[in-house]
C-alpha cells in the first residue's frame, strides 16, 4: 500500500469552535496521512491557529471531533495529546530561559537514577545524541536565555522530537531561521516523513510550503476551502486560493524617494570602549541583513535602549541631539522598537487589544494623573482600523487574536508614540501575504511622512522590496553597506554569507 492509498492517520469531522461574537472554525473536515508533510495555509484569522490548538489539545472544540488512527479522541490538554503521539511546536516560544538546553528538552521527563534523582550524566548524553542526530548545532549545557530566538526555536523542535511523536505540528517553523537552518530543518522533516510520521506544517511562506509539502489544505474564514497537491503549484496560484481572488499578493518593490534635502540623523552606539556609527535620512528605510546569530537583533535592541548594561546611544540631526541608555529615554527621544518576539517581550497577555495598543502612550490619554478611557479607545480603534486588525471587539483579550493580528497591534503601539526613528525587528513575522503587503505600505507611508525606519529581517526578499539601503551585520558589527536598487538576491546572499562583500565597510 502506498502513502496515497493509506487511510488517514489524523482527521477532524465537522469541527467547530465558537467564541463570543466570532466563529473561528465552521464545520472543518480535515484529513492527513502518515508519511506525508501536509501544509495548512490561510490568511490571518482564517482559523489555522484554532485548528492547530484543537489538534494539539490546547483548545476544546464546540462541536465535532478529532479522529486518530480511526478512533475518535477527546484531548483534555496538550499532555493528553502528547500521550496519544501528537506533539506541537508553537511559533511563540515556551522554554524556561533560566534553564540550560538539556533541562528544557527533557523538562518533566528527566532520566532518573535508581534512587529517583535526576541522572545528570544521562540527561546531557541523551540531549547531545538528540541534537547530533538531527544536526542541531547547540550545546546541551548552553543557557537558554543566552541563545538567539532562532536557536531557541530549534530547541523547541528538539524537545518535540525527543517525544518520538506520530504527528508533529509545526507553527511557522522557519520564521526566524537562516537559510542554512531552514534547509537543515527541511532535511529533518523529510527524514521524519520517510519514517512514516505525519508532519503538519503551518506557514505563511508560500514558496517554502510548495517546496516542502506533499499536500496543502487551504482554510478561509473558518472553513476548509480546498486540498491541493503541492507539486506543480505556483506561489501566485496558492495565494489566489488563500485570498479567494487574484491580485492580493505582497506589494511589488516600491522604494521610497528620499529628498536630497532630507534631515540626516547621525547615530553613535557606544558599547564598552567599542563603538558603531551609522546615519539614516528622514524618510529613508534602512535594512539590516545578516545570518542568524550575526547580532542583528542585539544591535537593534541597543539602538532602542534595551542593550547590555553600559551601552549608550547618541543621536544628532543638527538641530536636535540626545543621549540615552534606557528604553524609556529612547521613547522620550522618539526612538521606538518593534520586537521580534511578541509573546515574551511584546504583548501584555492579561490586557485587552486596546490596552496593548495604547500601552506606550498612556500620557497622551491622561489628565491630572487619570486615564481617559474614551479618548484611549477612540485613538486605538482608529489606528487598528487603519492596520486592518481583525478582532471581534477592541475590548477582547489580546491572546484571542491570531498571531498576525497580534503583530499588527504591536505595530499600532509603536505608531502611537509618533516616532522619529522606528526600529522594526521582523515586522511581518507570522503575517499572511495580504497583511504583509499592508504593513509594507504602512511603513512606506510613514517614511513619506518623514519617519526614519530601520527594518531587521531574515527575509532577503522583504529587505530588497522594502528598503532603500542595506547594512550587513557580521559578528555583532556592521560589515558593509549596499544600495538596495543596485542589489539582487544573489548579491545579498553572497554578502551576508561572507563569500563576497559589496560596498564600503562601516
Least confident of 206-215, 227-236, 257-266, 270-279: 257-266
Cα-based distances in Å from 208 to 23, 139, 229, 430: 29, 28, 14, 14
Outline where DSSP puts E strands in 250-371: 264-271, 274-281, 285-289, 312-316, 321-324, 335-338, 366-367, 370-371
> Which is more confidently placed, 222 or 180?
222
Confidence of residue 272 (pLDDT cuts 50, 70, 90): low
Q: Would you place residue 250 in the very low, low, confident or very high pLDDT band (cuts 50, 70, 90)?
A: very low
Report the pLDDT value the prediction gives residue 489, as an integer from 0 to 100. Answer: 77
Better pLDDT: 479 or 227: 227
For 472, the enclosing helix (H) or strand (E) is strand 469-474
Do the beta carbons of residue 184 and residue 135 sit within 8 Å?
A: yes
Identify the three-state secondary structure at position 116: coil
Q: Which helix (H) or strand (E) holds 198?
A: strand 198-202
Give φ, ψ of 257 to 5 degrees.
-100, 110
Q: Which of 343, 373, 331, 369 is nearest to 355 (CA)?
A: 373
What are the grid coordinates assigned to 18, written together?
465558537
pLDDT at 225 over 90: yes
For residues 177 and 155, what is the distance between their CA atoms, to the nearest angstrom? Answer: 12
pLDDT of residue 5: 67
Q: How large is the average pLDDT for residues 34-57?
A: 90
pLDDT tens digit string along 298-315?
888 888 888 777 788 888
Radius of gyration of the chain (CA): 23
Q: Is the dihedral of CA 210, 215, 217, 218 positive or negative?
A: positive
| Structure confidence at residue 1 as a pLDDT band (50, 70, 90) | very low
C-alpha cell at 5: 492509498
Closest CA to 27 of 54, 65, 56, 59: 65
The Cα angle at residue 34 between residues 206 and 86, in degrees rounded to 5:
85
Of 180-194, 218-232, 355-369, 376-390, the least confident: 355-369
Q: Which residue has the higher pLDDT, 289 or 309?
A: 289
Is 494's pLDDT higher than 80? Answer: no
| Cβ within 8 Å of residue 18, ≥6 positions away | 24, 62
Mean pLDDT, rounded, for 237-264: 62
Report which of residues 22 and 277 the model is more confident about. Answer: 277
What is the reported pLDDT for 497?
63
Give the tens place of pLDDT for each residue, 421-474.
Answer: 999 998 887 677 777 888 888 899 889 989 999 999 988 888 999 999 999 988
pLDDT higher than 80, residue 362? no
For 50-79, the pLDDT digits (tens) are 999 999 999 999 999 999 999 999 899 999
> What average pLDDT does range 65-94 have in this prediction?
91
Task: Enumerate domains of the chain plus CATH numbers.
Answer: 3-243 (3.40.50.300), 263-334+419-506 (3.40.50.300), 348-418 (no CATH)
pLDDT score recorded for residue 502 = 38
* pLDDT, the chain, mean: 85
* Pairing status of strand 366-367 against strand 370-371: antiparallel
The residues facing 371 across adjacent strands are: 366
| Local confidence band at 245 (pLDDT 50, 70, 90 cut-offs) | low
Q: What is the pLDDT of residue 193?
A: 95
Please tell me the distance from the alpha carbon of residue 57 to that of residue 87, in angstroms, as a whole number: 10
What does the alpha-carbon distance between residue 106 and residue 158 come to, in Å, rounded to a whole number? 9
pLDDT at 255: 53
State the pLDDT at residue 258: 56
User: What is the tens place of the pLDDT at every residue in 113-152?
Assistant: 999 899 999 999 999 999 998 888 899 999 999 988 888 8
**Which pLDDT does position 260 carry in this prediction?**
57
In the chain, DSSP finds a helix count (H) and a strand count (E) of 17, 22
- Sorting pLDDT into bands at 50, 70 and 90, what band is 214? very high
Average pLDDT over residues 391-418: 85
The pLDDT score that the predictor gives to residue 64 is 94
More confident residue, 445 or 368: 445
pLDDT score for 259: 56
Report which of residues 245 and 347 the model is more confident about.
347
Amino acid at each position: 500500500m502506498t502513502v496515497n492509498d493509506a487511510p488517514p492517520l489524523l482527521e477532524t469531522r465537522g469541527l467547530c469552535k465558537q467564541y463570543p461574537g466570532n466563529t473561528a472554525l465552521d464545520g472543518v473536515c480535515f484529513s492527513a496521512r502518515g508519511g506525508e508533510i501536509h501544509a495548512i495555509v490561510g490568511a490571518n484569522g482564517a482559523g489555522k491557529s484554532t485548528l492547530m490548538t484543537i489538534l494539539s489539545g490546547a483548545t476544546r472544540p464546540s462541536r465535532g471531533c478529532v479522529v486518530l488512527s480511526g478512533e475518535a479522541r477527546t484531548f483534555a490538554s496538550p499532555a493528553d495529546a502528547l500521550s496519544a503521539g501528537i506533539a506541537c511546536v508553537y511559533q511563540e516560544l515556551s522554554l524556561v530561559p533560566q534553564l540550560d538546553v538539556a533541562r528544557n528538552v527533557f523538562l518533566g521527563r528527566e532520566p532518573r537514577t535508581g534512587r529517583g534523582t535526576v541522572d545528570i550524566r544521562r540527561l546531557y548524553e541523551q540531549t547531545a545524541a538528540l541534537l547530533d542526530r538531527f544536526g542541531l548545532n547547540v550545546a546541551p549545557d548552553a543557557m537558554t536565555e543566552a541563545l538567539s530566538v532562532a536557536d531557541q526555536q530549534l530547541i523547541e523542535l528538539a524537545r518535540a522530537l525527543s517525544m518520538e511523536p506520530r504527528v508533529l505540528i509545526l507553527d511557522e517553523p522557519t520564521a526566524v531561521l537562516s537559510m542554512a537552518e531552514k534547509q537543515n530543518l527541511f532535511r529533518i522533516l523529510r527524514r521524519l516523513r520517510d519514517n512514516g510520521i505525519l508532519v503538519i506544517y503551518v506557514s505563511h511562506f508560500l514558496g517554502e510550503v510548495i517546496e516542502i509539502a506533499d499536500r496543502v489544505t487551504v482554510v478561509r474564514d473558518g472553513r476548509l476551502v480546498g486540498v491541493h497537491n503541492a507539486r506543480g503549484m505556483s506561489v501566485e496560484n496558492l495565494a489566489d486560493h488563500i485570498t479567494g481572488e487574484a491580485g492580493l499578493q505582497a506589494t511589488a518593490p516600491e522604494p521610497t524617494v528620499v529628498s536630497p534635502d532630507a534631515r540626516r540623523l547621525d547615530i553613535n552606539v557606544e558599547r564598552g570602549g567599542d563603538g558603531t556609527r551609522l546615519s539614516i535620512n528622514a524618510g529613508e528605510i534602512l535594512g539590516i541583513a545578516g545570518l542568524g546569530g550575526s547580532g542583528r537583533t542585539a544591535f537593534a535592541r541597543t539602538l532602542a535602549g534595551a542593550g547590555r548594561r553600559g551601552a549608550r546611544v547618541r543621536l544628532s540631526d543638527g538641530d536636535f541631539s540626545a543621549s540615552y541608555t534606557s528604553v524609556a529615554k529612547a521613547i522620550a527621544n522618539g526612538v521606538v522598537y518593534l520586537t521580534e518576539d511578541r509573546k515574551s517581550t511584546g504583548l501584555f497577555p492579561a490586557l485587552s487589544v486596546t490596552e496593548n495598543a495604547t500601552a506606550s502612550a498612556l500620557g497622551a490619554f491622561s489628565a491630572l494623573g487619570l486615564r481617559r478611557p474614551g479618548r484611549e479607545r477612540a485613538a486605538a480603534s482608529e489606528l487598528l482600523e487603519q492596520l486592518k486588525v481583525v478582532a471581534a471587539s477592541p475590548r477582547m483579550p489580546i491572546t484571542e487574536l491570531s498571531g498576525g493580528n497580534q503583530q499588527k497591534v504591536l505595530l499600532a503601539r509603536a505608531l502611537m508614540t509618533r516616532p522619529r526613528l522606528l526600529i522594526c525587528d521582523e515586522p511581518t513575522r507570522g503575517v499572511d501575504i495580504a497583511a504583509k503587503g499592508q504593513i509594507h505600505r504602512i511603513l512606506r507611508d510613514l517614511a513619506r511622512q518623514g519617519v526614519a525606519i530601520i527594518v531587521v529581517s531574515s527575509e532577503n526578499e522583504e529587505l530588497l522590496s522594502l528598503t532603500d539601503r542595506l547594512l550587513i551585520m557580521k559578528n555583532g558589527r556592521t560589515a558593509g553597506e549596499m544600495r538596495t536598487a543596485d542589489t539582487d538576491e544573489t548579491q545579498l546572499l553572497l554578502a551576508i554569507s561572507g563569500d563576497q562583500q559589496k560596498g564600503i565597510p562601516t
